[in-house]
Structure 1
Amino acid sequence: MAEPSHDLFPIKRRGLMLVLSSPSGAGKSTIARSILDSDPEIDMSVSVTTRPKRPGEVEGRDYIFIDRTEFDLMVNRGQLLEHAKVFDNYYGTPRAAVMDALAEGRDALFDIDWQGTQQLAESAIDDLVRVFILPPNSRELERRLNTRAQDSQAVIAARMAKASDEMSHYAEYDWVIVNHDIEESVEQVRAILCSERLKRKRQVGLGEFVKGLRAG
């Protein structure tokens, strides 16, 4: 008599939302790019924003650029998982695309601040994995902001002033990484991602699979 096939009880994984937050210049965007380049199971969540497009940015890849009126309409219709005002510009995460990806077993990576993370926790805490990236010290943070040469000195000063408040929210996150070395930090995020994918709550069909194993 042939043994029953446990393929009759497949395990599917529900995707997760991996949030990387940090003060500007602490390294989260570099870490995010490395994760995206090396892991085919995770995609960047593309936010809508009212800020102007920066040189080199691509519509639909980096952000979806919209005006304030359209942004307000999306908020009122409940089409955003989270939204926030950062340095006089507005940002938000479209709900439908993320929920569809999670249902299909794909992960979504978020490069957002603590305000957006709090809102995600209110609406989708079971799907959320929160990682906060800290700089090794304030001098290094300021050096990185100056090195990337994207902002004026006035904006850099504003970002440094805001960094202290941003870092005070580290305790709201599940994991905290001090970014002494970018390659080491990337490996730490990869380890977190691997562990979170294996959590029991994300193994859809696990109960039926185990029943099949027990039945022989």
Structure 2
Amino acid sequence: MEDQKKAAAEAAVGLVVEGMVVGLGTGSTARYAILKLGELAREGFEVRGVPTSEATANLAKDLGIPLVTLDECPRLDLTIDGADEVDPHLDMIKGVGGALFREKLVAAASKEVAIAVDASKLVQRLGSRVPVPVEVHPFGWKVAKVRVESLGSVAELRMVGGERYRTDNDNYILDARFHAVRNAGQLERDLSVVPGVVENGLFVGVASIVFAADANGVKTLRR
């Protein structure tokens, strides 16, 4: 599985052209892409990165990848990230790792978004295997939970080590499990207008290319 993640991530890095500003995703697959970019940077390849999480920023700094902020560079050439599920339309669930808000914002700023996954992440319908992460403000989060559940989910506050999980933005996450997401675009919009919801993990119409790796190699899927 790790070999497949690495293969997909390195295939995505193949899109990077010297001088690009690249959004750096978060998660185990995105990490392989960042490691590869670090190798290139050490060889003198000029690339700058915009991290989607504090963990990614720390890794990129350790690898010598120059970083910029969205304020400094509000238009990116490319973002490379992973996904938790990808459907046949290349719509996705992302954010199980907790970085959905920054991931979606960085993706929105990018001319192209390349997603790297192992083939187990490919599903016929979103929500088949993982819940939809919903980032909520701590104030009145139970109000948001009731509204999110009214859309057809069972939502649980994410806990880690017996404590409420906090995102890099100091918010909570509700893991909203839908039996299956039948209209991802509509659900994304419905979740976005719930008071108290900061962002949700449905990424509809975002990916322009997906690199999916299995035991036989890497296949390329385009929107």
What's the TM-score once normalised by structure 1's chain length?
0.33
Q: Which has the higher contact order (CA 8 A, sep 6+)?
A: 1
Which is higher, the Rg of structure 1 or of structure 2? Answer: 1
Higher helix share: 1
